[in-house]
Chains A and B, each alone.
Chain A
Amino acid sequence: MEYSHISPWMHNVEELPVEMSTRVRLARNISNLPFPHMMNDDAQLKPVLDRLDDTLTGYRRIQMDTLQFEDKALMVEKHLISPLFTKRGLLSYINEEESISIMVNEEDHLRIQTMGVGMSLMSLYNKANEIDDEIESEVGYAFDDQYGYLTACPTNIGTGLRASVMLHLPAMTFGSRIQTLAANLSRFGFTLRGIYGEGSIPLGHIYQLSNQLTLGQTEEEIISNLDELKERIVEEEIEMRSQFKSEHLIEVKDSVYRSYGILKHAFKLPLKEAAKCLSDIKLGIDLELIEHEDFQFQKWIQLIQPAFIKMRLNEQNKEIASLERAVEEERAALMRQLLGGE
Chain B
Amino acid sequence: MKCESCNEREATIHISKGNGLEKTEKFLCEQCANASFENDFSYPDDTFNIQKLLQSLSQHPSMHQSKQQPRQCSTCGSTINTIVHMGKFGCPDCYDTFEEQVPDIVSRVQAHQSEHVGKVPMKSRAHLQTKRKIEALKERLAQLVETQEFEEAVVVRDEIRALEQAGDSNGV
Q: Which residues of A contact B119 (CB under 8 A)?
A: 129, 132, 148-149, 159, 218-219
Q: Tell me if A155 and B117 are in contact (CB < 8 A).
A: no
Out of B16, B102, B111, B128, which one reaches A323, CB within 8 Å? B16
Contact code string A119-143 (vs B, CB < 8 Å = 1, else 0): 0000000000100110011001111
Given A157-B110, A215-B113, A323-B14 in contact, is the A147-B121 Cβ separation under 8 Å?
A: no
Given A194-B44, A218-B118 in contact, is the A69-B33 Cβ separation under 8 Å?
A: yes
How many Å lie between the Cα of A152 and that of B76 in the bound state?
12
Instruction: Tell me if B56 is interfacial: C-beta within 8 Å of chain A.
Output: no
The chain A residue with its CB closest to the CB of B95 is A150
Name the interface residues of A13-61: CB closer than 8 Å to any CB of B. 29, 31-35, 37-38
Instruction: Tell me if A274 is interfacial: C-beta within 8 Å of chain B.
Output: no
Q: Tell me if A215 and B110 are in contact (CB < 8 A).
A: yes
The chain B residue with its CB closest to the CB of A321 is B14
Out of B42, B47, B76, which one reaches A34, CB within 8 Å? B76
Q: Tell me if A158 and B16 are in contact (CB < 8 A).
A: no
Q: Tell me if A147 and B95 are in contact (CB < 8 A).
A: yes
Given A31-B92, A37-B86, A38-B91 in contact, is the A136-B123 Cβ separation under 8 Å?
A: yes
Instruction: Tell me if B61 is interfacial: C-beta within 8 Å of chain A.
Output: no
The chain B residue with its CB closest to the CB of A220 is B118
How many Å lie between the Cα of A323 and that of B95 in the bound state?
49
Contact code string B20-42 (vs A, CB < 8 Å = 1, else 0): 10000101001001100110011
Contact code string A198-230 (vs B, CB < 8 Å = 1, else 0): 100000000000001111111100000000000
Instruction: Tell me if A144 is interfacial: C-beta within 8 Å of chain B.
Output: yes
Q: Which residues of B contact A219 (CB under 8 A)?
A: 118-119
Instruction: Tell me if B50 is interfacial: C-beta within 8 Å of chain A.
Output: yes
Q: Tell me if B118 and A158 are in contact (CB < 8 A).
A: yes
Q: Tell me if A32 and B93 are in contact (CB < 8 A).
A: yes
Out of A32, A194, A215, which one reaches B92, CB within 8 Å? A32
Given A38-B76, A76-B41 in contact, is the A218-B122 Cβ separation under 8 Å?
A: no
Q: Which residues of A contact B20 (CB under 8 A)?
A: 270, 272
Interface of B is mostly: loop
Q: Tell me if A83 and B128 are in contact (CB < 8 A).
A: no
How many Å lie between the Cα of A193 and that of B48 in the bound state?
13
The chain A residue with its CB closest to the CB of B33 is A69
Q: Which residues of B contact A114 (CB under 8 A)?
A: none
Instruction: Tell me if A145 is interfacial: C-beta within 8 Å of chain B.
Output: yes
Q: Which residues of A contact B93 (CB under 8 A)?
A: 32
How many Å lie between the Cα of A160 and that of B75 in the bound state?
22
Out of B47, B105, B120, which one reaches A154, CB within 8 Å? B105
Given A34-B75, A158-B113 in contact, is the A86-B122 Cβ separation under 8 Å?
A: no
Q: Which residues of B contact A86 (CB under 8 A)?
A: 34, 37-38, 41
Instruction: Tell me if A73 is interfacial: C-beta within 8 Å of chain B.
Output: yes
Q: Which residues of B contact A153 (CB under 8 A)?
A: 50, 87-89
How many Å lie between the Cα of A215 and that of B102 in the bound state?
14
Instruction: Tell me if A324 is interfacial: C-beta within 8 Å of chain B.
Output: yes
The chain B residue with its CB closest to the CB of A38 is B90
Chain A: minimal CB distance from B29 (Å): 10
Contact code string A175-207 (vs B, CB < 8 Å = 1, else 0): 000000010001001010110001000000000
Name 9 A/B residue pairs within 8 A (Cβ), A-sorted: A35-B92, A137-B122, A145-B128, A154-B50, A159-B116, A161-B118, A191-B47, A216-B117, A320-B12
Given contacts A32-B75, A145-B128, A215-B106, 8 further A-B contacts (CB under 8 A): A34-B75, A141-B123, A150-B89, A154-B105, A158-B118, A213-B111, A216-B116, A216-B117
Q: Which 4 A-B pairs have the closest CB atoms?
A: A216-B113, A148-B116, A142-B92, A83-B41
